[in-house]
Structure 1
Amino acid sequence: MSTLVALARAQALAAGRAQPITTVRHLHVHDRPLVLIPLAMAGEANAPLAALLGSAEDQPRLLVVRQPRNRDERFAFFAALAGVVVPYLDSFAGATEAVPVDRGRDVRHRFVDAPQIWVPNPGGADFLRLLGRSTRFRRTDGDFPVPPSVPRLGQWLTFLASSAEVPGSSLLVNAVQALTQHWATGQSSAEDAHFGSLFAWITDGAAAAREAENGPVAGPATDPTFDNEILAPLITSADPALSGVLRELLMPTWERMWKSIALLRTLPAGARVASRWDSDRDAYSAYVEHLIEDGSPQPRRDGAVAAAARLQRLENAAARYAVQRAFDDPLVMAEHRLTGQAFGAVVTLAKADRIDDSGKRPVLRPRIMVATTETVRVEPGATLTSPSRPAQKAKVVSVTPAATSTDVVLELSGGMGRKLVAEPGSVPAVGEQLLLTTLSEAYRPGAAFPGPDETPWTHGGPPTHHEVTPVE
């Protein structure tokens, strides 16, 4: 927990109401999301009990497994779920747009939109991941066949669960994570996992949150008291009232989900949210192409090389997402200012026409001096950037503490054109306010990994063959 979030939690506790910790929204909110609230049976690993889902608030659809231990009923549930989810996912594979690549020398195409599925909490996302793993390899012929839509549903759920692990992705969103990224409550992080309590803290305050703790859970697990006193007798007797009881249980969560989406829409989107959604559309387009051309399910587990490459992609995405959130949001950047990774300053001197001719050819290298009253924890030689000028780098030449401020001399490069004369406005003018930080959005190239057949046998490569010397 960061210092500012801890302070916001203390303020929320004192005020009895959740406090905002961002000024903008850091995720894409779709105009037509699919809300999916899964419910599992206690004591059975990933055994579905019900699901309430739909892409319109006034049209919820309830799917129920009356006997969760009955295999036929479970797969009938999977088929019914696929009948709603798969057409929604496929509905965005229509119109495409051209995207320039290779510096405009070529183009590729991607779909103009992509789906977005909302679940109440991380447990709901994990339920979908396990459901995808248990259905994507099912056979559509032979013994115990399933409808073709069932393995297709498993492939889609596996894709969505995998995308949810990428920081900043908005294809599969859980409401608890989305809300806690933007508001801090006066309760612990563990208590925030209760969707009803978290939502009440944000909308109505602490008193309502205490009442919500006694209300229905948001799944996928159910309350033990409900299991023993209500659910078990209904399942045992195959009571037709089961559907009505489960609908009543899930409807409060359904209403909170749509209110949470509407609440997040009231926040302005961060400047870089659109570019991350473009990446989601790229991922969606690539997977649709895979389903059309190949259609094979994802492997049960990644090989050593694939796992290492995926880990690096996730690490790069996490670093990039952290920087983008800070660049988009002054409240997020404030945390970096506290730790010395950023500081605000005003330009006091500027030499925009400075030329560095110490190399093989002269290059434009303007210098500016900025003054700041904040603590500066950078050394000469460090490279800084400004969120307002992300393409421009500022190399620290010197740091000189004064009586009431600190003077920092910076040498600029990039973002000023290709000539020896800087483009108008590309060099900060005297009196301009700048925010400078060690954070950078610069592209991080991926590492070169060996092919699977070039790894040792311990990592999935070919076995080692030794020459055997015959015994005389």
Structure 2
Amino acid sequence: MSTLTALARAQAVAAGRAQPIATVRHLHVHDHPLVLVPLAMAGEANAPLAAMVGTDPAEPELLVVTQPRDRDERFRFADRLGQIIIAYVDMFADGTEDVPIDRGKDVRTRYLDAPQIWVPNPGGVDFLRLFGRSTRFRTVDGEHPVPASVPMLGRWLTFFANSAEVPGSSLLLNAVQALGLHWVTGQSSAEDAQLGVLLAWIEDGFAAARAVENGPVAGPATDPDFDNRVLAPLIERSAPELPGVLRELMWPTWERMWRVHDLLRRLPAGERVRQRWDADRDAYTAFTQHVAEGGAPQPRRDGAVAAAARLQRLETAASRYAVQRAFDDPLVLAEYRLAGAAFAGTVTLAAPDRVDDTGKRPVLRPRIMVRTAEAVRVEAGTSLTSPSRPAQKARVISVARLDSGESDVLLELSGGMGRKLTPEPGTVPSVGEQLILTTLSEEFRRSGSLPDPTETPWTHGGPPIYDDPTPDLPRP
């Protein structure tokens, strides 16, 4: 837990109300999301019991498995859920736009929008991942055929679950994590995992949270006491009132999901949220085209090279996401200022037309002096960036400690000023301007090279063997 987050938690305890830890919204909130509240039997791995799903807050569709251990009923459940989700994701495979690549030398196409699915908590994401794994390899013919919607459902659920692992992605969101990114409460992180309590802390405060802490769980697992007292007898006698009981159980979570959606929509979006949603649209476009071209389902497990490449992508995304959040949000950047990775100051001197002619050709290299009262923990030669001018680099020439306790930091600027020996207006900070400088950077970093999968060394399992993994898949 960071220093500012710990302080915000203490303030939440004192005020009896959740405290904001962000000034802007750090995720994309869709105008037309699909909300999915899954429910499974406690103690039964991936045995679906019910799902409340839809795009209309007033009219969700309730899917119920009256006998969760009945294989045919579970496939009927998967069939209907697949029909709903496939119809939803197909809505966005319509209008396209051309995106320039390779510095404008070529273009590629992507869809104008992408789907977004909401689940209540991380457990809902895990449920979708496991359910996708258990359905995407099913066959529509042979000894145990299933409807065509079942394997397609599995492929889409796997796609969304994989996207949820990418920091900054908004294709699959869970309400608990989305709220926790923007507010903290006066309770523990384990207690924050209960959606109803967390939302009550934010909307009405501690007293309201205490009043709902014994309310219905948000799934996907049911409460064992509810299973023993209510659910088990209904299932044993195939009671026709089971759907009504489950609807009453799930409705509070359904209603809270839409309140979370509306609450987050009211926050202004961070400047770089749009960039990350563009990346989500790219991912959706690529997967849609892969499916349309008859591509194979996602493998049950990655080979060594594919796993290493995925790890590289996730690490790069995590680093980029951390920087983008800090550049978008002064409250997030304040954490880095406390840690000495950033400081704020005032420009006291500026030489915007300075040219360095010591090399083969003259280059524009303005210098500025920044005075700061904050601790400066950078050495000469360190490259800094300002969130207000992310394309510009500021190299530290010297740091002078003053008797007043302040510091004068001499910086040499490069990039982001045009191609001439005279800077474009406004590209060089002027005297009197307030400036934040940080070691964080959005600069692209090339990933390490990896061998071709066919050249995977024996120490890492050798070249992958692509066989039919269906026999050892768990049944839904």
Give the TM-score normalised by structure 1.
0.97
Letter in 2 for 1:315: E
Partner SS for 2:395: strand
Structure 1 match to 2:28? 28
Determine the structure 2 residue equivalent to 1:469: none
Q: In the TM superposition, what whole-angstrom CA distance separates every residue of 1:412-455 from its partner, at most 9, and x where no partner exists? A: 00011111111122111111110100000000112110011222
Matched, 1:408 2:393: no
Q: State the shift of 1:460 in Å.
A: 3.5
- How do 1:9-408 and structure 2 match up within 5 A? 9-404=9-404, 405-408=406-409
- Counterpart residue number, 2:474: none
User: Is 1:2 aligned to 2:13, yes or no?
Assistant: no
Alpha-carbon distance in 2 for matches of 1:125, 1:204: 27
**Alignment partners' CA distance in 1, 2:422 and 2:331:** 36
TM-fit CA distance, 1:362: 1.2
Q: Which residue of 2 aligns with 1:421?
A: 422
Letter of the structure 1 residue corresponding to residue 10 of structure 2: A
Q: How far apart, CA to CA, are the structure 2 residues paired with 1:458 and 1:87?
A: 44
* 1:430 aligned partner: 431
Q: Which amino acid aligns with 2:325?
A: R
Letter in structure 2 aligned against 1:130: L
Q: Distance in 1 between matches of 2:241 and 2:463?
A: 58
Tell me the secondary structure at the aligned position of residue 344 of structure 1: strand
Tell me which amino acid in the other structure corresponds to 2:416.
G
For 2:358 and 2:107, the matched residues in 1 are separated by 40
Quick one: which amino acid aligns to residue 281 of structure 2? R
Of 450-459 and 301-310, deviating more is: 450-459
Q: Distance in 2 between matches of 1:233 and 1:222?
A: 15
CA distance in 1, matches of 2:180, 2:76: 36
Q: Classify the secondary structure of the residue corresponding to 1:168.
A: coil
Aligned mates of 2:174, 2:458 — CA distance in 1: 39
SS of alignment partner, residue 426 of structure 1:
coil
**1:214-246 Cα distance to aligned partner (Å, 9 max, x none):** 000000011111111000000001000000000
Cα distance, 1:288 vs. partner? Answer: 0.4
The 3-state SS of whatever aligns with 2:398 is: strand
Give the match's secondary structure for 1:110: strand
Deviation of 1:285 (Å): 0.1
Q: Give the Cα separation in 1 of the matches to 2:128 and 2:375.
A: 47
Q: Which residue does the alignment assign to 1:466?
A: none
State how far apart, in whole Å, the 1-side matches of 2:459 and 2:348 are.
60
> 2:451 matched to which residue of 1?
450
Distance 1:146 1:90 in 2: 21
Following superposition, the deviation at residue 462 of structure 1 comes to: 5.3
Following superposition, the deviation at residue 459 of structure 1 comes to: 2.0
Q: 1:294: how far off?
A: 2.7
For the residue of structure 1 that corresponds to 2:38, the secondary structure is: strand
Cα offset, 1:352, TM superposition: 1.0
- Partner deviation per Cα, 1:275-313 (whole Å, 9 max, x = no partner): 000000000000001001133100000000000000010
Give me the whole-angstrom Cα distance separating, in 2, the residues matched to 1:160 and 1:218. 20
User: How far apart, CA to CA, are the structure 1 residues paired with 2:447 and 2:325?
Assistant: 22
Contact kept, 8 Å, 1:452 with 1:460, in 2: the verdict is no
Q: Deviations over 1:449-472 (max 9, x none)?
A: 001122212323259xxxxxxxxx
SS at match of 2:437: strand
Cα separation, 1, equivalents of 2:27 and 2:86: 23
Q: Which secondary structure state, in structure 2, belongs to the residue aligned with residue 446 of structure 1?
A: coil
The CA RMSD over aligned residues, in Å, is: 0.9
Q: Deviations over 1:374-399 (max 9, x none)?
A: 11111100000000000100000000
Which SS does the other structure have where 2:49 is aligned? Answer: strand
Name the amino acid aligned to 1:64: V
Partner Cα distance (1:212, 1:135) in 2: 36
Q: Return the letter of the residue paired with 1:19.
A: Q
TM normalised by structure 2 equals: 0.96
Provide the residue aligned with 2:473 in structure 1. Answer: none
**Aligned equivalents of 2:353, 2:323: Cα separation in 1:** 31
3-state SS, counterpart of residue 210 of structure 2: helix
Distance across 2 between alignment mates of 1:401 and 1:346: 15
- AA aligned opposite 1:182: H
CA distance in 2 between counterparts of 1:95 and 1:460 reads 43
Aligned to 1:302, the other structure's residue is in SS state coil
Structure 2 counterpart SS, 1:139: coil
Q: Structure 1 counterpart of 2:255, which letter?
A: E
Contact 1:201/1:209 (8 A) holds in 2? yes
Contact 1:353–1:366 (CA<8 Å) still a contact in 2? yes
- Give the Cα–Cα distance (whole angstroms) in 2 for the partners of residues 330 and 353 of structure 1: 30
Separation in 2 of the partners of 1:443 and 1:461? 31
**Cα distance in 2, alignment partners of residues 106 and 462 from structure 1:** 34
Aligned partners of 1:441, 1:76: CA distance in 2, in Å?
A: 47
Please state how far the C-alpha of 1:270 moved relative to its aligned partner.
Answer: 0.2
Counterpart secondary structure, 2:350: strand
Separation of aligned partners in 2, 1:458 and 1:348: 58
Would the alpha carbon gap of residues 462 and 262 (structure 1) be closer, same or farther in structure 2, given more than 3 Å must change? Answer: closer
- Separation of aligned partners in 1, 2:92 and 2:61: 21
* Cα separation, 2, equivalents of 1:294 and 1:52: 31
The answer on whether the counterparts of 1:364 and 1:413 sit within 8 Å (CA) in structure 2 is yes
Q: Which residue of 1 aligns with 2:467?
A: none
- Cross-structure match for 2:442: 441
